[in-house]
Amino acid sequence: MVEHVEKAISRLDPARYAQEPEYVMALFARLDGLVFQDKQTHVEIISTIVADQGPSPAASRFGADFVLTASLQIGKQKVQKAVLGQAQRRSMNNKTAEENAKFMEQCDKMLQESRQCITLETPLEYGQLPQVKIFEPGNSIPIKDKIHFVEYLVVPFMGCLHGDTRGFFVRDVLESHLPKLHISAHAADSPA
């Protein structure tokens, strides 16, 4: 798993991706796919870039730039989970008050749909790792300091400590326009 993620990141020079949407698209295209498989274990990452063009784009409605989905199977036990995410080119510490307010509005929109969301801070220089902040409902401050993207995927996300496991939510975020998300978001909090 670590090797898969590090390999995906190692080929991405931020100088070639001046804006965070392009960097995120390139990173997620490299991450998408089978990460590990043997007789008992199957680990797959599915990445979705949320549509940001057209009438009433999903990115504006839901605040998300991307969705990370994982399919994990060990023996007969299978778990699918997803997390909404917002990409940022630079740290919130280096943004204006207006930029921070817009960013927090986007996080609030994501948290209205799922209790699990992250922000991905893209690197500015080659060799730096993307950073992740984990947010929770009702709290505009991340629940954890920034952690490396690799660490986030391996420990909280794949380790089943973070990510929305509601079946209807996972199904609904697999399409770029998130056409069913609004309908499902108002369903009961119990897993589908």
Block mean pLDDT (10 aa), the chain, length 192? 88 89 93 90 92 86 92 91 89 75 88 89 90 76 77 88 91 88 40 36
What's the pLDDT score for residue 189? 39
Which pLDDT score, from 0 to 100, does residue 186 have?
30
Residue-level pLDDT at 53: 86
Q: What is the pLDDT of residue 107?
A: 87
pLDDT at position 68 is 94
pLDDT of residue 191: 38
pLDDT at 144: 63
Whole-number pLDDT of residue 55: 81
Q: What is the rounded distance in angstroms from the CA atom of residue 30 to the CA atom of residue 8? A: 5
Write down the pLDDT at residue 183. Answer: 39
Cα 17–chain centre separation:
18
